[in-house]
Amino acid sequence: MEIGDNVKFRKGKFNFGGKTPKNFDRHIGKSVPLYDLGQNLICKISSFFLNNESYVYDIGCSTGTLIKKIIKYNSSIKFTIIGIDREKNMIKEANKKLKNKKKVSFKCADVKSFSYKKSDLIISYYTVQFIKPKYRQNLFNKIYKSLNWGGGFILFEKVRGPDARFQDMMSQVYNEYKNDIGYNEKQIYNKSISIRGFLEPFTTSANLAYLKRAGFKDVMSIMKYTFFEGFLAIK
């Protein structure tokens, strides 16, 4: 079944492998409201945490678009940035996109078991929502432990409404948004059933609870549009 932008999946079989990386940037840029604006915001915030000795991680880096933007925005700083993604075809696309850039590397690995060096900034741009809930707290704990004191964790997630009324309202608004940008009703329905059991968002309060249990005390919301929210947490 087709979900738009030449991306096809079966029920409950959405994934980021196969041919998905070829069409990923176009599809995700349309599907997630304010997607480019969120990346641009991350670039601006990143400059508060980076210096020439910094290590930066982008977990779930996909095709490396965000990393490319961060490097360009902070061109006067000689930091090291590592992109991690479990899909080899995503890493392949990322390597092609940044093949001439120094101090950039991409690792085909599971972000849950990856060994992180001490770092000044870690970014998760719509990634944790695809990790099974039973593994999430351990990942947040690893991120907190990896960060230097004063380091930042930028987390963007799809979130659920705080109760059934808000969930229903925002679901209708989001479906209308997708229809407005050109997806038809069948594509919208196909997408919803393709991600069953694969995408599992939590509420804003649940994400804040994960961060608090990991050790973060200084946290703020930096962007929100219906179900899509960004947080900045500082160690």
CATH of the domain at 182: 3.40.50.150
155: how many CB neighbours lie within 10 A of its CB? Answer: 26
Q: What is the pLDDT of residues 121-155, one digit of tens each?
A: 999 999 999 999 999 999 999 999 999 999 999 99
How confident is the model over 159-186, as pLDDT tens digits?
999 999 999 999 999 999 988 888 888 7
Domain limits at 229? 2-234
How many domains are contained in the chain?
1
Tell whether the model's pLDDT for residue 58 goes beyond 50.
yes
SS percent in the chain: helix, strand, coil, step 5: 40, 25, 35
DSSP letter assigned to residue 74: T
Write down the mean pLDDT value for the chain: 89
Find out whether 195 and 14 touch, Cβ atoms under 8 Å.
yes
What confidence tens digit (pLDDT) does each residue in 182-213 have? 888 877 777 777 777 678 999 999 999 999 99
- Which residues is 4 bridged to in the sheet? 7
- DSSP-assigned letters across all residues of 41-68: HHHHHHTTT--TT-EEEEET-TTSHHHH
